[in-house]
Homo-oligomer: A and B are copies of this chain.
Amino acid sequence: MTNPNDESKPENVTQSPPPPVAVDLEGGGGAISNIIRRWKREDLLNRGCLATRGFCFVFSLLAFIIMASNKHGDWKDFDKYEEYNYVLAIAILSTLYSGLQALRQVHQFHTAREFFSRRNLAMIEFLGDQVMAYLLISSASSAVPLTNRMREGADNIFTDSSASAIAMAFFAFFSLAISSLISGYKLSNQSYI
Protein backbone atom coordinates (compact mmCIF):
# COMPACT_ATOMS: atom_id res chain seq x y z
CA MET A 1 0.00 0.00 0.00
CA THR A 2 2.78 2.46 0.92
CA ASN A 3 5.08 1.24 -1.88
CA PRO A 4 5.04 3.91 -4.61
CA ASN A 5 6.54 1.54 -7.19
CA ASP A 6 3.58 -0.80 -7.09
CA GLU A 7 2.19 -0.52 -10.60
CA SER A 8 -1.08 -2.27 -9.81
CA LYS A 9 -2.32 0.85 -7.95
CA PRO A 10 -3.12 3.53 -10.55
CA GLU A 11 -4.13 6.07 -7.85
CA ASN A 12 -0.52 6.18 -6.60
CA VAL A 13 0.98 7.09 -9.98
CA THR A 14 0.99 10.85 -9.35
CA GLN A 15 3.02 10.42 -6.13
CA SER A 16 5.61 8.04 -7.57
CA PRO A 17 8.74 9.20 -9.41
CA PRO A 18 8.35 8.81 -13.18
CA PRO A 19 10.00 5.50 -14.05
CA PRO A 20 6.96 4.27 -16.04
CA VAL A 21 7.14 7.35 -18.28
CA ALA A 22 10.82 6.72 -18.86
CA VAL A 23 10.10 3.08 -19.67
CA ASP A 24 7.40 4.19 -22.10
CA LEU A 25 9.76 6.64 -23.79
CA GLU A 26 12.38 3.95 -24.17
CA GLY A 27 9.85 1.62 -25.69
CA GLY A 28 8.66 4.26 -28.17
CA GLY A 29 11.94 5.88 -29.19
CA GLY A 30 14.21 2.87 -28.78
CA ALA A 31 15.21 2.60 -32.41
CA ILE A 32 16.09 6.27 -32.73
CA SER A 33 18.05 6.46 -29.49
CA ASN A 34 19.84 3.29 -30.52
CA ILE A 35 20.90 4.84 -33.80
CA ILE A 36 22.01 8.06 -32.08
CA ARG A 37 24.01 6.07 -29.53
CA ARG A 38 25.63 4.11 -32.35
CA TRP A 39 26.52 7.34 -34.18
CA LYS A 40 28.05 8.78 -31.01
CA ARG A 41 30.04 5.61 -30.42
CA GLU A 42 31.30 5.56 -34.02
CA ASP A 43 32.27 9.20 -33.75
CA LEU A 44 34.16 8.49 -30.52
CA LEU A 45 35.91 5.52 -32.14
CA ASN A 46 36.90 7.61 -35.14
CA ARG A 47 38.29 10.33 -32.90
CA GLY A 48 40.18 7.76 -30.82
CA CYS A 49 41.63 6.24 -33.98
CA LEU A 50 42.68 9.68 -35.23
CA ALA A 51 44.28 10.53 -31.87
CA THR A 52 46.30 7.29 -31.70
CA ARG A 53 47.44 7.76 -35.30
CA GLY A 54 48.43 11.34 -34.49
CA PHE A 55 50.49 10.11 -31.54
CA CYS A 56 52.06 7.43 -33.71
CA PHE A 57 52.95 10.09 -36.32
CA VAL A 58 54.59 12.34 -33.71
CA PHE A 59 56.53 9.51 -32.07
CA SER A 60 57.79 7.98 -35.30
CA LEU A 61 58.76 11.40 -36.63
CA LEU A 62 60.75 11.93 -33.42
CA ALA A 63 62.37 8.50 -33.76
CA PHE A 64 63.26 9.30 -37.37
CA ILE A 65 64.77 12.72 -36.57
CA ILE A 66 66.70 11.56 -33.50
CA MET A 67 68.11 8.52 -35.27
CA ALA A 68 68.94 10.38 -38.50
CA SER A 69 70.84 13.10 -36.62
CA ASN A 70 72.76 10.52 -34.58
CA LYS A 71 76.16 10.94 -36.29
CA HIS A 72 79.11 11.87 -34.11
CA GLY A 73 82.03 10.52 -36.17
CA ASP A 74 84.24 7.45 -35.73
CA TRP A 75 82.30 4.44 -34.37
CA LYS A 76 79.50 6.77 -33.22
CA ASP A 77 77.64 6.77 -36.55
CA PHE A 78 74.24 5.18 -36.64
CA ASP A 79 74.74 3.94 -40.21
CA LYS A 80 77.56 1.60 -39.14
CA TYR A 81 75.00 -0.62 -37.34
CA GLU A 82 72.32 -2.49 -39.25
CA GLU A 83 69.90 -2.42 -36.28
CA TYR A 84 69.90 1.37 -36.25
CA ASN A 85 69.43 1.48 -40.02
CA TYR A 86 66.43 -0.82 -39.55
CA VAL A 87 64.97 1.47 -36.86
CA LEU A 88 65.44 4.47 -39.15
CA ALA A 89 63.82 2.77 -42.15
CA ILE A 90 60.80 1.62 -40.17
CA ALA A 91 60.46 5.03 -38.50
CA ILE A 92 60.29 6.65 -41.95
CA LEU A 93 57.72 4.10 -43.15
CA SER A 94 55.63 4.51 -40.03
CA THR A 95 55.76 8.32 -40.26
CA LEU A 96 54.48 8.14 -43.83
CA TYR A 97 51.80 5.56 -43.02
CA SER A 98 50.34 7.22 -39.94
CA GLY A 99 50.60 10.70 -41.48
CA LEU A 100 48.73 9.61 -44.61
CA GLN A 101 46.09 7.74 -42.58
CA ALA A 102 45.53 10.75 -40.31
CA LEU A 103 45.30 13.09 -43.33
CA ARG A 104 42.78 10.79 -45.00
CA GLN A 105 40.70 10.68 -41.84
CA VAL A 106 40.71 14.47 -41.40
CA HIS A 107 39.82 14.89 -45.07
CA GLN A 108 36.96 12.44 -44.60
CA PHE A 109 35.67 14.36 -41.55
CA HIS A 110 35.55 17.57 -43.60
CA THR A 111 34.15 16.36 -46.89
CA ALA A 112 32.26 13.24 -45.75
CA ARG A 113 33.45 11.54 -48.93
CA GLU A 114 34.86 8.04 -48.86
CA PHE A 115 37.18 6.54 -51.43
CA PHE A 116 36.51 2.94 -50.38
CA SER A 117 33.42 1.23 -49.11
CA ARG A 118 33.17 1.37 -45.33
CA ARG A 119 33.79 -2.36 -44.93
CA ASN A 120 36.86 -2.44 -47.17
CA LEU A 121 38.20 0.64 -45.44
CA ALA A 122 37.92 -0.99 -42.01
CA MET A 123 39.70 -4.08 -43.35
CA ILE A 124 42.50 -2.02 -44.93
CA GLU A 125 42.96 0.06 -41.76
CA PHE A 126 43.08 -3.04 -39.61
CA LEU A 127 45.63 -4.81 -41.82
CA GLY A 128 47.81 -1.71 -42.21
CA ASP A 129 47.85 -1.01 -38.48
CA GLN A 130 48.72 -4.62 -37.73
CA VAL A 131 51.61 -4.83 -40.20
CA MET A 132 53.08 -1.45 -39.19
CA ALA A 133 52.82 -2.39 -35.49
CA TYR A 134 54.68 -5.67 -36.16
CA LEU A 135 57.40 -3.81 -38.06
CA LEU A 136 57.77 -1.17 -35.33
CA ILE A 137 58.12 -3.62 -32.46
CA SER A 138 60.48 -5.77 -34.53
CA SER A 139 62.79 -2.85 -35.30
CA ALA A 140 62.71 -1.46 -31.76
CA SER A 141 63.40 -4.77 -30.07
CA SER A 142 66.17 -5.68 -32.51
CA ALA A 143 68.05 -2.49 -31.57
CA VAL A 144 67.69 -2.85 -27.79
CA PRO A 145 70.44 -5.48 -27.10
CA LEU A 146 73.12 -3.61 -29.08
CA THR A 147 72.39 -0.38 -27.21
CA ASN A 148 72.38 -2.19 -23.86
CA ARG A 149 75.78 -3.72 -24.60
CA MET A 150 77.23 -0.36 -25.71
CA ARG A 151 75.98 1.36 -22.57
CA GLU A 152 77.71 -1.21 -20.41
CA GLY A 153 81.02 0.06 -21.82
CA ALA A 154 80.44 3.77 -22.31
CA ASP A 155 77.54 6.15 -21.77
CA ASN A 156 77.79 9.02 -24.20
CA ILE A 157 75.62 11.17 -26.47
CA PHE A 158 75.54 8.47 -29.17
CA THR A 159 74.11 5.73 -26.95
CA ASP A 160 71.73 8.20 -25.31
CA SER A 161 70.36 9.33 -28.67
CA SER A 162 69.98 5.71 -29.83
CA ALA A 163 68.15 4.82 -26.63
CA SER A 164 65.75 7.75 -27.00
CA ALA A 165 65.08 6.92 -30.66
CA ILE A 166 64.30 3.33 -29.65
CA ALA A 167 62.00 4.57 -26.88
CA MET A 168 60.16 6.75 -29.41
CA ALA A 169 59.78 3.73 -31.71
CA PHE A 170 58.29 1.78 -28.78
CA PHE A 171 55.85 4.61 -28.03
CA ALA A 172 54.87 4.68 -31.71
CA PHE A 173 54.30 0.92 -31.51
CA PHE A 174 52.05 1.29 -28.47
CA SER A 175 49.97 3.98 -30.19
CA LEU A 176 49.62 1.86 -33.29
CA ALA A 177 48.76 -1.27 -31.27
CA ILE A 178 45.92 0.63 -29.60
CA SER A 179 44.86 1.95 -33.00
CA SER A 180 44.84 -1.60 -34.38
CA LEU A 181 42.67 -2.72 -31.44
CA ILE A 182 40.27 0.12 -32.20
CA SER A 183 40.16 -0.79 -35.87
CA GLY A 184 39.51 -4.40 -34.89
CA TYR A 185 36.66 -3.19 -32.69
CA LYS A 186 35.36 -1.02 -35.54
CA LEU A 187 35.42 -4.10 -37.80
CA SER A 188 33.33 -5.95 -35.24
CA ASN A 189 30.78 -3.15 -34.92
CA GLN A 190 30.00 -2.50 -38.55
CA SER A 191 26.65 -0.86 -39.00
CA TYR A 192 24.88 -2.57 -41.86
CA ILE A 193 22.25 0.18 -42.05
Residues of A within 8 A of B (CB): 82-83, 122-123, 126-127, 130, 133-134, 137-139, 141-142, 144-146, 148, 177, 180-181, 184-185, 187-188, 190
When distances are taken between beta carbons in the complex, the residues of chain B under 8 Å from A148 are: 82
Q: Which residue of B lies closest to A126 (CB)?
A: B184
Give Cα A177–Cα B180 distance, bound, in whole angstroms: 13
Q: Are B180 and A130 in contact (CB under 8 A)?
A: yes
Give Cα A137–Cα B122 distance, bound, in whole angstroms: 24
Chain A interface mostly helix, strand, loop or mixed?
A: helix
The count of identical subunits is 2
Give Cα A190–Cα B188 distance, bound, in whole angstroms: 7
Q: Are A130 and B83 in contact (CB under 8 A)?
A: no
Instruction: Choose one: B83, B133, B142, B187; the contact of A184 (CB below 8 Å).
Output: B187
For the complex with contacts A130-B181, A141-B141, A188-B188, 7 further pairs of A-B residues with Cβ separation under 8 Å are A130-B177, A134-B177, A137-B141, A138-B138, A145-B146, A184-B187, A187-B188
Give Cα A138–Cα B83 distance, bound, in whole angstroms: 13
Q: Which residue of B lies closest to A83 (CB)?
A: B145
When distances are taken between beta carbons in the complex, the residues of chain B under 8 Å from A144 are: 142
Output the least CB separation between A84 and chain B (Å): 10
Output the least CB separation between A17 and chain B (Å): 34
